[in-house]
Structure 1
Amino acid sequence: MINAYYEDRCLLITGGTGFLGLALIVKVLRDLPQVRKVYALLRSRTRADGQVVCARERLQQEVLEGEAFASFRAADPKGFARARQKVVAVGGDISLPDLGIDPSQRQELLEEVDTIFTIAATVVFDDPLDDSIRLNTHGPLALLQLAHDSSRDVDFIHVSTAYVNGQRAGRVPEEQLPMDRDIRQLVASGANGGFDPQVEIADCESFCRRLYKEAAGEPRGREFRRAALAQTGNRELTDARLQQLIEDRRKRWLARGLIDEGRRRAKDHGWNDVYTFTKAMAEQMLVKKRKNTALVIVRPSIIESGLQEPAPGWITGLKVMDPLVAAYGKGVMPDFPGRRDLIIDLIPVDIVVNATLAAATQATSREVSVFQVASSTENPVRLSTLFDNVRAHFLQYPLRDRDGRAPSLRQWSYSGLRKFKLLFRLRYLYPLRLQEWIFNRLPAAIVSEQRRRIVATLKIRLQRVLHYTDLYAPYTIRQCAFETRRTRSLFKALPPEERKVFNMDVKRIDWPTYVRDVHVPGLRRYVIKDVDGAALFPQAGEESEEDLAANRQIEES
């Protein structure tokens, strides 16, 4: 079934340097040797030193020579050498007109590609509204236009997210989103509420243009100038330095306005955040614009590290729950809101890859097929199970600081969001603000500069905890379960030999073992070593004195 579908097929994959896209490329090259060619659409990247890395170089350095292919390279060097010859880098950008692809290479794609996998997206819950619409909504539509322009019958496989279902609770059906309602209207009555994604997108873009215009206008410019001068104590500055400070203010003001508007619109319409809001509108617009193109929508839940492939625990970057896991292991996330029995819908990346490859075989121009890839209905993992096994791992293998000191790891209280925020402020923020208020009124000779930096570091840490709380609470407060009947039926329909190679059975997952012995070790091996202190916390063993002192103050509170 799967093997037959991919015989002599040519694939176009976006997001090939990202977590899911990279895992998909590995699986195709290793276990589907009958595939004729794989085109990987990749943006060029500019390094910190200003050097531009083109798509071809990124394919070699970040994909084929990266850790995801390590086991394939080691186990079958000749097979890997053959497979890598099938991958072709396509320089482009899903946010640009015509995908930013060179016309001659675009023509090649139109003549060659049989199946398109749209995986590239900005998976950021608080991204600016314009960025999210450009990448998450317009990007897939630009790829759909490529399919329309093709001389072949192209199957279009769109990887979305189960959380396009937003604030729906209970059992969430495995079906298309309605075209005439947002989630708020769907939850409230199920009746036609007059929501039109095309009108909403246009309205969002109109708001963004107005905000850019306001940011560039003279009234705001004067405001930014006054703020910049006040920031520097009105001391004399060069024109270049003053202009830089004004531009920094302008960019921050603009970013904040775009982020806040994205969050507001998402919540007003019943979605959790701008990511799910713009992904949902992409689904709706693809259905509306598909014409006769065979469209399959794959909706994974929270994608986490590999169960077995490309390697047990393999992961790139911190996913939805991972900042909390990493921060807890470091001792800087003493608690988090959420019910003990709440289901956290995790799904290993290799199961998502296998389901995506299998779902493509069901593409037909007659109807849109939707497959949800989730664990909540068949093998749910509770928040308490997740936390208990994260804690068990870090108690046995602590993340020590450079002094060899293991952090104190508290038991979570599983309180509600309101209670959590109240207790957090009473225990941490209010005492810190009092300390800061006292320091600001004491002579510099009495309070050392290091002590002031410790307080500033601690304040950043505590604000980050509240930021994560606001960002992730919708995923740890609301109870829902994603139906996966179609995905289960698809797996059962595979011949026995394919079920072994393309495992999609979530019932096989032993969650305590996966969390404790696979996922958290994978985070430590592949990600935590690379986390920058400004983003979350310093790598164990590389903390500054202020970091160490701030950690200890949290532990001792």
Structure 2
Amino acid sequence: MSSVAAYYNGKAVLITGATGFMGKVLMEKLLRSSPNVKTVYILVRPKAGQSMQERVANMLQCKVFDRVREDYPNFQEKIKPINAELIQPNLAISPKDSEDLLSQVNIVFHCAATIRFDEPLKRALQLNVLGTQRLIELARQMQKLEAFIHISTAYANCNQKHIDEIIYPPPVEPKKLFGLVEWMDESIIEDITPKLIGEWPNTYAYTKALTEYLLQQEKANLNIAIIRPSIVGASWHEPFPGWIDNFNGTSGIMIAAGKGILRTMIANNDAVADLIPVDVVINLTLVAGWYTAVHRPKNMMVYNCTTGGINPFSWGEMEYHVLSTFKRNPLEQVYRTPCAQLTSNYLINRYWIAVSHKAPALIYDLYLRLTGRKPRMMKILDRLHKNLMLLEYFTTQSWEWSSDNMNMLMGQLSPEDKKLYNFDIRQLHWSEYIENYCLGAKKYLLNEDMSGIPAAKQHLRKLRNIRYVFNTTLLVIIWRIFIARSQMARNIWYFVVSLCYKFLSYFRASSTLRH
């Protein structure tokens, strides 16, 4: 009954970036929704001392595959890993593997990219732009290729306030930039990077903009579509609510707030937090692959996969829902009671960093030293502040994205396909989603068992009691040093206390009369 699922049955699919967050969800959904898919080729490189085979074996043990493992125990037989490296000529693919890809592949999903905001420009160009060009060169030789789907970002054109589903001209020709960085010393490239990227906040968004333009130039007769997700977060429904496997983006911020480490950050409370669940992006991607292959649109289609224009959610709302969730379902061994303040004022933020971040961290590290343990809190804070600084550009502004193509695509689906590949974010309830996101971070990132919540609540109460004792002691010290020695200060103090007492007496009397 599902046209999309039926299309992928019998097809050979190539996925780049399959070991990444989105790549794993894409592979899982494809194997689960179209169990008769012929082959899923994945490009994998050795990394961190692990061979390609070891990386794939570890990946397939991941919890994200539990549902498909239960339904189809031999699903891994469909997966064919290929040793490859995006920054090498011909992707460093062996002649035998290259022959298989050229003769078999029907659809390419290009998810591979460096998502580091502070990636040096040369490496970001090599991975995001040059890697894509080399993949396109390979795709042009594929005899059975029907569609090429590229995952970009909604922030590729963040120098615009209103972003349409079109390709915007970049500030420089990508090929000219390749030639420039090829011979130039890396220290010089680093010095001129701010000038080169101009209005773009980082090398990630900049190189994604260049890649989109390159695809338009290099497409020739290929059927290409571009998916532009905003901030990709935990899953909404699939494979199960709240699944997340990395600390990137909002995930690390949520955990830092839940642990009581993060108390302040630069953000506009009213700005839109354009968070998009990963399964929404993947459902749209698979549907776009089907539509591109079957309907073969004349122009290259771009899909803005965002929530802000359809179902907006602000950073202030996110702060409220994250903190309330972690107060009801606390993390284990929290540092302090979850509490955070968003501010767009730089000076206020610096004050709170000094008072509520650095001062407690120094005291805590001193305590660790005195008890013979290694100090760690200042290092954690340094990493956190660096990440927050990279996110400031996105937490203080809002953008408008058109979504006509996404709406058109939804109109092409049958009722069955709309259920199986749901990307209608009008149905998303933010409070429920954020709660599942926080609980998912607790379960899948921190590996904390939900049965430990009562003990975590007890630890939270203990921290609250310590805070009350500390505040009371501080008040007594202030009294002894300042107030007890001054008659005027004592008079003011007694006046404030008596006023509070009168208010309490009045409310108690009013309550008695009502009852």
Structure-2-length-normalised TM-score: 0.80
Picking from 202, 206, 210, the partner of 1:277 is: 206
Alignment-derived partner of residue 470 in structure 1: 389
Equivalent residue number for residue 379 of structure 1: 311
State whether residues 5 and 33 of structure 2, in contact with CA within 8 Å, keep that contact through their aligned partners in structure 1.
no
Amino acid at match of 2:439: P
Match of 2:459 in 1: none
Alignment partners' CA distance in 2, 1:488 and 1:310:
24
Q: What does the per-residue CA deviation read over 1:239-284, in whole Å, with 9 as the maximum and x for residues that have no partner?
A: xxxxxxxxxxxxxxxxxx84x755x256x42212111111111111
How far 1:421 sits from its partner (Å)? 4.0
Correspondence for 1:544: none
Which of 67, 80, 96 is 2:73 aligned to?
80
**Letter paired with 1:368:** M
Kindly report which structure 2 residues correspond to 1:45-444, keeping only aligned pairs within 5 A, or say none: 45-47=47-49, 52-55=50-53, 57-63=54-60, 65-74=61-70, 76=71, 79-81=72-74, 83-169=75-161, 171-178=162-169, 181-182=170-171, 195-207=172-184, 209=185, 211=187, 258=190, 262=193, 264-265=194-195, 268-363=197-292, 364=296, 366-401=298-333, 407-412=336-341, 414-424=342-352, 427=355
**Which amino acid letter does the alignment assign opposite residue 68 of structure 1?**
V
Q: Which residue of 1 aligns with 2:414?
A: 495
Matches of 1:132 and 1:452 in 2, distance apart? 44
Would you say the 8 A contact 1:293–1:365 is kept in 2? no
CA distance 1:455–1:68, shift in 2 (3 Å): closer
Which 10-residue stretch deviates more, 149-158 or 478-487?
A: 149-158
Corresponding position of 1:13: 15
Identity score, percent: 27
How far off its partner does 1:350 sit? 0.8
Q: List alignment gaps of at least 5 residues for structure 2.
A: 449-454, 457-462, 475-515
Q: Please say which structure displays the higher CA radius of gyration.
A: 2
Residue in structure 2 matched with residue 525 of structure 1 by the alignment: 443
Counterpart CA distance in 1 for 2:389 and 2:305 is 26
Q: Is the contact made by 1:167 and 1:478 (CA closer than 8 Å) also made in structure 2?
A: no
| Structure 2 residue matching 1:116: 3-state secondary structure | strand
Structure 1 pair 210/54, CA: closer, same or farther in 2 (3 Å)? closer
Aligned residue type for 1:62:
M
- CA distance in 2 between partners of 1:372 and 1:434 (Å): 44
1:348-372, Cα deviation, whole Å (9 max, x unpaired): 1111111001111332373211011
User: Could you tell me how far apart the structure 2 residues matched to 1:201 and 1:288 are?
Assistant: 15
Cα deviation code 1:394-426 (max 9, x no counterpart) = 11122232xxx66222241x3215234432455
Aligned pair count? 451
SS of structure 1 residue aligned to 2:379: helix
Compute the displacement of 1:513 (Å).
Answer: 0.8
Give distance in 2, aligned partners of 1:149 and 1:265: 37
Partner of 1:243: none
Where structure 1 has 5 or more consecutive residues not aligned to the other structure, the ranges are 183-194, 215-256, 436-446, 531-539, 542-547
The corresponding residue for 1:228 is: none
Q: Distance in 2 between matches of 1:100 and 1:432?
A: 50
DSSP 3-state at the match of 1:12: strand
Q: 1:483 aligns with which of 402, 423, 431?
A: 402
Structure 1 pair 421–99 and aligned structure 2 pair: CA distance change class (3 A): same
Deviation at 1:139, TM superposition (A): 1.3
Q: For 2:276 and 2:287, how far apart are their aligned partners in 1?
A: 16
Contact 2:301 2:405 in 1 (8 A): no
User: Whole-Å Cα distance in 2 between the matches of residues 448 and 314 of structure 1?
Assistant: 36
Q: In the alignment, is the contact (CA less than 8 A) between 1:400 and 1:406 conserved in 2?
A: no
1:28 matched to 2:30:
yes
Structure 1 distance, partners of 2:287, 2:401, is 19
**SS of structure 1 residue aligned to 2:68:** helix
Q: RMSD in angstroms over aligned alpha carbons? A: 3.2
Contact 1:336 1:420 in 2 (8 A): no
Seen in structure 2, the aligned counterparts of structure 1 residues 360 and 45 have a Cα distance that, compared at 3 Å, is same
Contact 1:158 1:295 (C-alpha < 8 Å) held by counterparts: yes
Q: 2-side partners of 1:430 and 1:528: how far apart?
A: 24
Counterpart Cα distance in 2 of 1:103 and 1:121: 24
Q: Distance in 2 between matches of 1:448 and 1:480?
A: 45
In structure 2, the CA distance between the partners of 1:92 and 1:340, relative to structure 1 (3 Å rule), is same
Q: 1:146 to 1:432 in 2, by over 3 A?
A: same
Maintained 8 Å contact 1:398/1:407:
no
Going from structure 1 to structure 2, the CA distance change for 1:498 and 1:433 (only over 3 Å counts) comes to: closer
